[in-house]
């Protein structure tokens, strides 16, 4: 097919996610042909740094030979088989490897196929656990403002980003919403890392009043990613764990975006030294190769489902592609690469270089906040640095920077007016510098 033909057919037939198709019709879309390492090439041969790891999924680079090989080998055996009453070696091997990476209380792996389903499973498990362990009044959940846990109805119910979630309100189940730990816009006017985590008082107040009806609280650990990489202190999670214990509330740790090294440790909860009750993983689980997710449950939760069949305590949940063998075999190889190539150790110098380079944004009077943890860097662009006045959604600051960055050879996809960098870990220190320089140049061209 000719390029023009491909573009025309894309616009005619494909309805893209999180995309206003009216804009898309007049845009020149990026049609990707191939990828290698941190780079992706479009069908015209233009090369771009994948500075957002293809929606935060890619950790070890595109088209990595070891992962390709693992996939090919599994393909020769079987592409898919159900997991209800069946099993297969990749799912078993992967579950064992994951459990070995978890704190001792987390013992059981439940498969699904994307981050949203991992969250749905966690919510349903927490709810059913309470029903089946004598806590029948505990039917509600707590979630944070600015949270994002996926796009299915349960996940949207615990979401807290109005632009994405508000319209669905009548369809959603009721939750208790607590304040967001948004340090740059601290409600208590405290400085980051020099506070007593006052923002957690909002959770405590809800627990105090309603804990007898609360099954669990769900959080994105260390960073509320989709809301604009709102990075918050590990101390918040530590104190939250204590509160959950005190009020008998399950702690659901949604590591879909942060898991597998993104924060500089294998899992974000490690920064706080805590053990959640349920952990959701997806995205980086297969190094970004294939859709797969897991919800890892504590033994206490698992035991509440374990009984004679006629007691009807079974967890009646499972998607067609649950535990897909191709995805599981890639995920196993992914974890082997983490071990063999000491990925977590190898990214530490890169994290430092990312942190240093982000400071280049300090020169702009429109940059209100620079945020950094692990392999995530973000800058929040504001209308007024003194008042922290935000740009509005309709100002479309992000899309202007996105276009500029493409012209400069990088895929950046700002979240509103937050420009962020979340590259695959195989990026070199020189490439980090280059990526940030593209960000700086794009911001300058878009706004000045
Ligand atoms: C924290 C978090 N949870 C859940 C999800 C949903 O994952 P998926 O897009 O695979 O459904 C996302 C996606 O960005 C996420 O960031």
- DSSP output for 161-181: -HHHHGGGGGGSPP-EEEPP-
pLDDT at residue 363, rounded to an integer = 94
CA–centroid distance, residue 54 to ligand 1 (Å): 13
Q: What's the rounded mean pLDDT across residues 182-205?
A: 95
Q: Kindly state the percentage of the chain with pLDDT values over 90.
A: 95
How do residues 229-288 score in pLDDT, each as one tens digit?
A: 999 999 999 999 999 999 999 999 999 999 999 999 999 999 999 999 999 999 999 999
Q: If you count them, how many residues does the chain have?
A: 448
pLDDT at residue 102, rounded to an integer = 98
Task: Supply the residue whose CA is at minimum distance from atom 4 of ligand 1.
Answer: 149
| CB-CB contact of 231 with 266 (8 Å) | no
CA angle 376, 378, 380 (to 5 degrees): 165
Domains and CATH numbers, the chain: 31-63+343-447 (3.90.1150.10), 68-340 (3.40.640.10)
* Res. 151 pLDDT band, cuts 50 70 90: very high
Q: Kindly state the percentage of the chain with pLDDT values over 70.
A: 100
Q: What's the rounded mean pLDDT across residues 402-411?
A: 96
Paired sense of beta strands 278-281 and 293-298, if any: antiparallel
Strand order across the 106-112 sheet: 106-112, 293-298, 278-281, 250-254, 214-219, 140-144, 176-178
pLDDT tops 90 at residue 379: yes
Task: Supply the residue whose CA is at minimum distance from atom 10 of ligand 1.
Answer: 115
* Res. 28 pLDDT band, cuts 50 70 90: confident
Q: What's the rounded mean pLDDT across residues 122-135?
A: 98
| CB-CB contact of 194 with 184 (8 Å) | no
The Cα 272–Cα 219 span in angstroms is: 13
The residue to which tokens 């997710």 are assigned? 293
| CB-CB contact of 249 with 142 (8 Å) | yes
* Res. 192 pLDDT band, cuts 50 70 90: confident
CA–centroid distance, residue 448 to ligand 1 (Å): 34
pLDDT tops 80 at residue 223: yes
CA–centroid distance, residue 134 to ligand 1 (Å): 31
Q: List 387's β-bridge partners, or say none.
A: none
pLDDT at residue 392, rounded to an integer = 84
* Res. 193 pLDDT band, cuts 50 70 90: confident
pLDDT at residue 1, rounded to an integer = 82
Number of Cβ within 10 Å of residue 150's Cβ equals: 23
In our burial notation (b when 16+ CB lie closer than 10 A, e otherwise), range 333-359 reads bbbebbeeeebbeebeebbebbeebbe
Q: What lines the ligand 1 site, CB under 6 Å?
A: 114-116, 119, 148-150, 220, 225-226, 254, 256-257, 282
pLDDT at residue 122, rounded to an integer = 99
| CB-CB contact of 328 with 91 (8 Å) | yes
SS3 16: coil
pLDDT at residue 385, rounded to an integer = 93
The Cα 407–Cα 445 span in angstroms is: 11
Q: Of all atoms in ligand 1, which is nearest to the CA of residue 147?
A: 1
Q: Which of 99-108, 187-196, 199-208, 403-412 has the lowest mean pLDDT?
A: 187-196
Give the H/E segment covering residue 208.
Answer: helix 201-210
How do residues 291-348 score in pLDDT, each as one tens digit?
A: 999 999 999 999 999 999 999 999 999 999 999 999 999 999 999 999 999 999 999 9
CA–centroid distance, residue 301 to ligand 1 (Å): 23
Q: What's the rounded mean pLDDT across residues 189-217?
A: 96
Mutate to test the pocket of ligand 1, among 220, 254, 256, 289 (most ligand atoms within 8 A of CB): 256
CA–centroid distance, residue 116 to ligand 1 (Å): 6
Q: What's the rounded mean pLDDT across residues 92-97?
A: 98
How do residues 58-74 score in pLDDT, each as one tens digit?
A: 999 999 999 999 999 99
Number of Cβ within 10 Å of residue 15's Cβ equals: 7
CA dihedral for 159, 164, 166, 169, sign (positive or negative): negative
* Res. 158 pLDDT band, cuts 50 70 90: very high
Paired sense of beta strands 367-373 and 214-219, if any: unpaired
pLDDT at residue 20, rounded to an integer = 92
SS3 447: helix
| CB-CB contact of 289 with 326 (8 Å) | no
The Cα 43–Cα 30 span in angstroms is: 8
- Give the 3-state secondary structure percentages of the chain, helix then strand then coil, rounded to 5: 45, 20, 40
Residue from 55, 44, 29 nearest 257 by CA: 55
Number of Cβ within 10 Å of residue 119's Cβ equals: 31
| CB-CB contact of 223 with 258 (8 Å) | yes
Chain center to CA of 100: 22
Residue from 408, 122, 103, 105 nearest 267 by CA: 103
The Cα 252–Cα 208 span in angstroms is: 19
CA–centroid distance, residue 208 to ligand 1 (Å): 30
pLDDT at residue 332, rounded to an integer = 98
CA–centroid distance, residue 221 to ligand 1 (Å): 13
pLDDT at residue 393, rounded to an integer = 76
Mutate to test the pocket of ligand 1, among 222, 263, 283, 284 (most ligand atoms within 8 A of CB): 283
Under 8 Å CB-to-CB from 402, ≥6 apart: which residues? 412, 413, 414
* Res. 7 pLDDT band, cuts 50 70 90: very high
* Res. 119 pLDDT band, cuts 50 70 90: very high
Q: Of all atoms in ligand 1, which is nearest to the CA of residue 116?
A: 11
pLDDT at residue 276, rounded to an integer = 98
pLDDT tops 90 at residue 27: no
Record the tokens describing residue 172, joined without a space. Answer: 């959603």
pLDDT tops 80 at residue 349: yes
């Amino acid at each position: 097919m000719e390029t023009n033909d491909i573009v025309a057919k894309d616009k005619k037939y494909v309805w893209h996610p999180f995309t206003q198709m009216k804009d898309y019709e007049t845009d020149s879309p990026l049609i990707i042909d191939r990828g290698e390492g941190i780079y992706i090439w479009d069908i015209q041969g233009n090369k771009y740094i994948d500075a957002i790891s293809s929606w935060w999924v890619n950790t070890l680079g595109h088209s990595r030979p070891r992962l390709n090989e693992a996939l090919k080998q599994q393909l020769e055996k079987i592409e898919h088989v159900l997991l209800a009453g069946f099993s297969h070696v990749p799912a078993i091997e992967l579950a064992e490897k994951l459990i070995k990476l978890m704190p001792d209380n987390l013992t059981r792996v439940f498969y699904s196929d994307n981050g949203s389903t991992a969250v749905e499973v966690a919510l349903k498990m927490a709810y059913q656990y309470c029903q089946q362990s004598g806590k029948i009044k505990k039917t509600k959940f707590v979630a944070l403002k600015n949270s994002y846990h996926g796009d299915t109805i349960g996940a949207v119910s615990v979401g807290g980003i109005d632009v994405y979630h508000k319209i669905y309100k009548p369809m959603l189940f009721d939750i208790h919403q607590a304040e967001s730990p948004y340090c740059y816009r601290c409600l208590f006017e405290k400085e980051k890392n020099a506070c007593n985590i006052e923002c957690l008082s909002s959770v405590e107040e809800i627990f105090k009043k309603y804990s007898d009806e609360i099954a669990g609280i769900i959080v994105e650990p260390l960073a509320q990613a989709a809301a604009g990489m709102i990075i918050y202190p590990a101390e918040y999670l530590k104190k939250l764990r204590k509160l959950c214990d005190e009020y008998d509330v399950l702690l659901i740790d949604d590591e879909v975006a942060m898991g597998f090294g993104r924060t500089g440790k294998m899992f974000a909860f490690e920064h706080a030294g805590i053990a959640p009750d349920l952990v959701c993983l997806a995205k980086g689980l297969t190094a970004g190769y294939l859709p797969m997710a897991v919800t890892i449950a504590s033994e206490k939760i698992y035991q509440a489902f374990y009984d004679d069949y006629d007691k009807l305590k079974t967890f009646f949940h499972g998607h067609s592609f649950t535990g897909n063998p191709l995805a599981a075999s890639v995920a196993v190889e992914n974890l082997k690469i983490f071990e063999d190539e000491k990925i977590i150790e190898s990214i530490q110098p890169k994290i430092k270089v990312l942190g240093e380079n982000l400071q280049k944004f300090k020169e702009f009077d429109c940059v209100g906040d620079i945020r950094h943890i692990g392999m995530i860097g973000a800058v929040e662009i504001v209308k007024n640095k003194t008042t922290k006045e935000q740009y509005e959604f309709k100002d479309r600051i992000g899309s202007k920077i996105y276009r500029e960055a493409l012209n400069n050879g990088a895929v950046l996809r700002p979240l509103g007016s937050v420009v962020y960098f979340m590259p695959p870990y195989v990026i070199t220190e020189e490439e980090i510098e280059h990526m940030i320089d593209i960000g700086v140049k794009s911001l300058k061209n878009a706004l000045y």
